[in-house]
Amino acid sequence: MGKPSDLVQGTLDLLILRTISAEPKHGWAIAKRIQQVSGDVLQVQQGSLYPALHRLEQQGWIRAKWAESETRRQAKFYSLTAAGRKQMEQETANWNRLSTAIDLVIERA
Amino acid sequence: MGKPSDLVQGTLDLLILRTISAEPKHGWAIAKRIQQVSGDVLQVQQGSLYPALHRLEQQGWIRAKWAESETRRQAKFYSLTAAGRKQMEQETANWNRLSTAIDLVIERA
DNA sequence: CATTGATACCTTGACGGTCGACACATCGAA
DNA sequence: TTCGATGTGTCGACCGTCAAGGTATCAATG
């Protein structure tokens, strides 16, 4: 199995929003979850993760709350705001638009 | 229809390689072709296009030759090299891997 | 004949996201 | 007590993209 390939530039925000859309998660868990769900293809570095989380929080799309993690440690749990959910929908649509377009170019030469 | 959305970071090389894989094209035509085939979703800025072409040429994946364009003007026609074709296959596979992985995260939350 | 728009090449600077590397702390297990 | 996993964070460098500018030719328009 190939090693994880990091990311596609510009998709991290969407991946994060999606990952916490069902239930709040802390940063570490978000990264693990993305890697796991992607079948070990996507890998989120901490140097990408935390700046992204802070970016999203500052834009009001996610909200942070300190709580106890599964391992009984303090961790920052992030949840979607209403604006964040809307943003997630938008970015999802945009990703579908773009990836479809790229597939078109690949197929139809 | 919606305005073009430029690009997904990191996919331009693949788009270019694909676009000249059937027959050689000059830079201007490559950009037009990508936009057209993508259904006006992808837009390649010149500030992205020409550096990319030079990059690809320097890496030996494409080769340039001056010739007369459809409008009877001198234009640089780019064609795939053998290494370029191999690179194209690789990048195609990688794109499929990554976009599939992203779709997985989007679906399975 | 002058101007405009399309074609066709190119460069430059700024921006912004990602990476790799660090630093720090806690907890459980060996 | 040492190690690995968990958990947060920062920093600098890198690199692709964008917006904007420049040059030149050609056909069509006025």
Q: Which residues pair with B80 in a beta bridge?
A: B62
- Chain B hits for A22, CB-CB cut-off 8 Å, are 109
Taking residues A31-56, what's their average pLDDT? 97
Pairwise pLDDT comparison (B104 vs A4), residue with the higher score: B104
Which pLDDT tens digit goes with each residue over B19-41? 999 999 999 999 999 999 999 99
Residue A1: per-residue pLDDT: 46
Determine, for residues B102 and A42 on separate chains, whether the beta-carbon distance falls below 8 Å: yes
Residue to test with chain A: of B5, B6, B8, B15, most A Cβ within 10 A: B8
Residue A109: per-residue pLDDT: 78
CA angle B2, B4, B8 (to 5 degrees): 125
Contacts 24+ apart (CB under 8 A), B65-68: B65/B24
Taking residues A10-25, what's their average pLDDT? 98
Binning pLDDT at 50, 70 and 90, where does residue B3 land? low
Between chain A and chain B, the number of residue pairs with CB atoms below 8 A apart is 97
Taking residues B91-98, what's their average pLDDT? 98
Binning pLDDT at 50, 70 and 90, where does residue B91 land? very high
Taking residues B42-49, what's their average pLDDT? 98
Binning pLDDT at 50, 70 and 90, where does residue B1 land? very low
Which pLDDT tens digit goes with each residue over A45-92? 999 999 999 999 999 999 999 999 999 999 999 999 999 999 999 999
- Burial of residue A9 (CB within 10 Å: 0-12, 13-18, 19+) is exposed
Taking residues A19-32, what's their average pLDDT? 98
Determine, for residues A39 and B104 on separate chains, whether the beta-carbon distance falls below 8 Å: yes
Residue A3: per-residue pLDDT: 64
Pairwise pLDDT comparison (B4 vs B44), residue with the higher score: B44
pLDDT higher than threshold 80 for residue B62: yes
Residue A2: per-residue pLDDT: 56
On average, the pLDDT of chain A sits at: 96
Q: With contact defined as beta carbons under 8 Å apart, do A71 and A21 qualify?
A: no
- Chain B hits for A97, CB-CB cut-off 8 Å, are 2, 5, 41
Determine, for residues B39 and A106 on separate chains, whether the beta-carbon distance falls below 8 Å: no
Dihedral angle over CA of B20, B21, B22, B26, nearest 10: 10
Taking residues B85-103, what's their average pLDDT? 98
Q: Which helix (H) or strand (E) holds B67?
A: strand B62-68
pLDDT higher than threshold 60 for residue B2: no
**pTM score, two decimals?**
0.94
Dihedral angle over CA of B42, A11, A81, A75, nearest 10: -170
